[in-house]
Structure 1
Amino acid sequence: EVDKFAALASRWWDKNSEFKPLHDINPLRLNYIKEHCGGSLKDKVILDVGCGGGILSESMANEGATVT
């Protein structure tokens, strides 16, 4: 299992890998969340419950949220 996920990890952040659809839809998900949080994530505290590899969480942090 470790080897399997280590191989996936090397491609996870590659926007042209098999994970491209996740990267492509991420801006839509981020905008949806921002719209429902008053238009901004600045100074918001967000809990990532571990449902993915962090693509969305990193984007929210880049928008000023504290993501844990």
Structure 2
Amino acid sequence: MSWSPTTTPAESHLLFFPFVFGSNTIPDASAGFIGLNSFHKKAHFLRAIYEGVAFSHLYSTPNVCATSTLI
């Protein structure tokens, strides 16, 4: 079993919001899938999770860099 998604980004239109424990900007934010349909398979879920987590980190990176000390 491969953990890398075999779908293309434009193929599924499935989004994942990775805020299981809230977020720094919206403490009450919740996790979930948007755009779920009956044709979605495990690969679609994996891609949505990977993309959701990656974009979440991309959004918070400037804040981390601004408050971090360079070594």
TM-score > 0.5 by shorter chain: no
- Give TM-score scaled by structure 1 length: 0.31
Return the structure number with greater helix share: 1
- Give TM-score scaled by structure 2 length: 0.30
State which structure, 1 or 2, has the greater radius of gyration over its C-alpha atoms.
Answer: 2
